[in-house]
Amino acid sequence: MNRASEKAIGVFDSGVGGLTVLEALRQTLPHEDFVYLGDTARVPYGNRTPQTIVRYATSCARQLVERDVKALVIACNTASAHALSALRSTFHIPVFGVIEPVSQMAVDVSQSGIIGVIGTRATIASDCYRRAIANLSPTARVYAQPCPLFVPLVEEGWVDTLPARIIVKTYIGEFLKSMNLMQEGDFCVKNYSEKKKENGIIDTLILGCTHYPVLRDAIDMALNDYGVEVTLCDCGVATARALECALREGEMMHTRRELGTTSYLVTDDPELFTSIGRSFMKQPPVNVEHIDIL
């Protein structure tokens, strides 16, 4: 056994969203230790310049590397889009973003080659998923829809409410209309089975924001209401699989039988983080420590 395998895995995000990635990592790699860093004092990264995002992500990664982690997961779409290559060249441990793994998952599962992406306005405008998917499958067609209210709904604890269900259904409806699958006044997609048989319809949807798995039930329900069957691809699940493969290949997996531990660092109020974090995980964050990052 390799001594390095006993080290923890570092995970960071601009805030609480990355907790869905952490949750997936803990399920896939239950024997590993994790250190999660939420840069809550500087959230959101989405509307910063690329240079600022690289600077912020590098400072987060440095905090974790100083804690001697064996691998880094950028559990944030914005930071993955802008800072992955910078972090890979700065730090000499494996670094994973969320965009490549989930794009690969989507390309693998899609039969029709028509892939949808939902995300924040900044993520969709950055076109990062379209580029990642084009690299993996040049013939794939990608449709994208910003859903800017999903993050505040999740962070404010409105997940299982009527307003959340209406808002989710409205955005998904707008998305289907933008693909010409529905028109104003339609309640569902017409001639769905025929389109499905001809492989002429979206069959895969990337949840391109780490907050969105928390709304998974409402998203499923909306797609179901519109009569559409798609496979939802979750950043966290895809990234956990990619990390598992890499650790196995590198003989870096922790070999103990006991469950691993998780510690939490935040750059703003630990209490607010713990309270918002409850929506994101089965076991909410505990013992959250405040740190300053300059």
Could you tell me which stretch among 28-36, 73-81, 90-98, 164-172 binds its own copies (CB under 8 A)? Answer: 164-172
**Residue in 128, 147, 209, 235 annotated catalytic:** 209
Question: Contact with its own copies (CB under 8 A): which of 16, 167, 214, 247?
Answer: 167
If you search the block for the tokens 């803990």, which residue do you land on? 26
Contact status: 162 vs its own copies (CB under 8 A): yes
**Residue in 76, 147, 233, 235 annotated catalytic:** 76
Contact status: 268 vs its own copies (CB under 8 A): yes
Cα–Cα dist 264/222, whole Å: 34
Contact status: 200 vs its own copies (CB under 8 A): no
E-assigned strand segments in the chain? 9-13, 34-38, 71-74, 95-96, 114-119, 141-146, 204-207, 231-234, 262-266, 288-290
Contact status: 158 vs its own copies (CB under 8 A): yes
Contact status: 221 vs its own copies (CB under 8 A): no
Catalytic residue check, 76: yes
Contact status: 207 vs its own copies (CB under 8 A): no
- Amino acid letter, 68: D
Question: Contact with its own copies (CB under 8 A): which of 149, 179, 246, 293?
Answer: 149
Dihedral of CA atoms 132, 133, 135, 136 in degrees, nearest 10, equals 120
Could you tell me which stretch among 151-159, 173-181, 226-234, 247-255 binds its own copies (CB under 8 A)? Answer: 151-159
- Sign of dihedral through CA atoms 276, 216, 26, 250? negative
Contact status: 163 vs its own copies (CB under 8 A): yes
Q: Which residues contact 155 (CB under 8 A, 6 or more apart)?
A: 16, 211, 276, 279
* 3-state class (DSSP) for residue 79: helix
Could you tell me which stretch among 17-25, 99-107, 154-162, 186-194 binds its own copies (CB under 8 A)? Answer: 154-162
Look up residue 229 and give its DSSP letter.
Answer: -
Question: Contact with its own copies (CB under 8 A): which of 68, 156, 198, 289?
Answer: 156
Q: Give the chain's end-to-end CA distance (angstroms, integer).
A: 37
Least separation in angstroms between CB 225 and its own copies: 16
If you search the block for the tokens 């974790």, which residue do you land on? 64
- Enumerate binding residues for its own copies (CB under 8 A): 41, 43, 47, 148-149, 152-153, 156, 158, 161-164, 166-167, 268
